[in-house]
Amino acid sequence: MSKVAMLVGDGYEDAEFDVPFECLRNAGHEVTVIGTQRGDTVHGKRGESEIRIQHTADEVKPGDFDALVIPGGHGPDKLRLNDAIVEFTQQFNATNKPLAAICHGPQLLIEADVVNGRTMTSWPSVRKDLINAGAKWEDKKLVEDCNLITSRKPDDLDAFCGALLQRV
């Protein structure tokens, strides 16, 4: 099956990591958790889950993965300060393989300069940032534009996971 990378930072939205992670694993895909410090345990902002970081972005290659998932919450805002994570995101986008971001996940995509000219959705507070970065923003539970898959919030996880599973 496919190899999927998940970029996760401390304070991620619990369900936006847990649901896609389990969905992908239950479908037989291999999921690798990437963050800023290998071996660190990062926690969901609601305190409902935690995950151990398996690799840093400079330890893996974007071409080794078939898809990339960025959960929302506070994690993407922290991850976009890490040059290796930003570069990994840029390089992964260049592969044109599925890149899925939910809620605040597009904050990392903005930092990676991959949103200009793309149609996307996000948590409403990220809307203006996406527009300022050149994206067209739509208030829909799921927006797909070429390799990008975006959703707004935990309530959209069924559509988000469904689209992701169709592509991997």
- Residues forming the active site: 103
- Kindly report each contact of residues 151-158 with a partner whose C-beta sits within 8 Å and lies 24 or more positions away, as own/partner: 151/102, 151/103, 151/121, 152/102, 152/103, 152/121, 152/122, 152/123, 152/124, 153/72, 153/102, 153/103, 153/123, 154/13, 154/15, 154/16, 154/19, 154/103, 156/102, 157/15, 157/16, 157/19, 157/20, 157/102
Cα separation, 112 vs 103, in Å, equals: 16
